[in-house]
Amino acid sequence: MENIIEIKGLVKRYDDKVAIDGLDLTVRTGEIFGFLGPNGAGKTTTVRVMSTLADFDCGTVYICGHDIKKDPSKAKACIGMIQQRISLDKDLTIRENMILYSLYHKISSAERRRRIDALSEYIGLTEYMDNMVDTLSGGWKKRAAIVCALIHEPKILFLDEPTVGLDTQARRLLWDIIRRLNNDGTTIFLTTHYIEEAEALCDRVGIINRGKLIDIGPPEDLCSRVGATAVEYFHNGVKTQYRYFQNREEANEFVSTLPEGTTVTVRRTNLEDSFVELTGESVGRVR
């Protein structure tokens, strides 16, 4: 199967507000796909629809070839989900949460034991398995959520803003886990408003704003659409301005025309430049 996710004409409304506005999107099997956009763009709503947690008004959504409206059970069996907020049962230990998830997915007890041992070692959680969820730090909780989401060996893992609230070290460890999972065959769909994260992890990125898909492609392609080099300049108290050029020579030529006393930065274009040019809005907080 080439496309593991196929969305056509998806519309989701909350009362009068349109959260997703005619979204068409495909995600290829085996890739890390990033959904980039500002807060409130419709990223989480799209993931909630795909994971069957939210209903939708129009359109079709196929996960692993299964229509999530007509055949939700088969679609659910293919999905693992890490929500933005930790959604483990905090009255239970990590091991108990893993057992619970395996019961939800009807995994036999012998297979359950094998997978719990293997996954806890894979993610590096072995020594914390009998700790209550709330005794762990944010990074470890995230790891615990990942092992639970992987217990039924899903074909696709949804990660909704996976690194929000994590420190740099925990964030980079999580990135390694995501890459390793992808190398081992799991398709990854992650939402983020962190440019750096999308650039570091994703094979392809979709930019969403106000419920509409603005552009889609590999990060380097999206960047090159506005040019290869960006010039940021600030003069006389006017807000920082940006110009984009196909190469550094053109950028340098432009810089030489700026008045004396202008603060100038010349750098490679990034996804935020692309986003701003495409939508006229800031992508959100950039680390």
Instruction: Report in angstroms the alpha-carbon separations of 7 from 21, 125, 191.
Output: 12, 35, 16
Does 100 participate in binding other proteins (rule CB under 8 A)?
yes
Q: Which of 43, 11, 12, 8 is nearest to 26 (CA)?
A: 8
Q: What angle do CA 181, 186, 187 make, to 5 degrees?
A: 120
Cα first-last separation, the chain: 36
Task: Tell me the per-residue interface mask from 67 to 96 with other proteins, x by CB under 8 A, - otherwise.
Answer: -----xxx-xx-x-x-x-xxxxxxxx---x
Contacts of 191 (CB under 8 A, 6+ apart): 34, 35, 36, 37, 43, 44, 46, 47, 159, 160, 161
Count of positions on this chain that bind other proteins (CB under 8 A): 29
Does 148 participate in binding other proteins (rule CB under 8 A)?
yes
Please state the closest distance from residue 27 (CB atom) to other proteins, in A. 18
Region near other proteins per CB under 8 A, out of 6-14, 49-57, 233-241, 262-270: 49-57
Q: Which of 54, 63, 52 is nearest to 14 (CA)?
A: 54
- Which value, in Å, is the radius of gyration of the alpha carbons in the chain? 21
Map residue 70 onto helix, strand or coil: coil
Region near other proteins per CB under 8 A, out of 8-16, 100-108, 184-192, 254-262: 100-108
Region near other proteins per CB under 8 A, out of 45-53, 177-185, 257-265, 273-281: 45-53
Does 225 participate in binding other proteins (rule CB under 8 A)?
no
Of the pair 88, 119, the CB lying nearest other proteins is at 88
Interacting residue with other proteins among 3, 52, 60, 224 (CB under 8 A): 52
Which residues here bind other proteins, judged by CB under 8 A? 51-53, 55, 72-74, 76-77, 79, 81, 83, 85-92, 96, 99-101, 103-106, 148
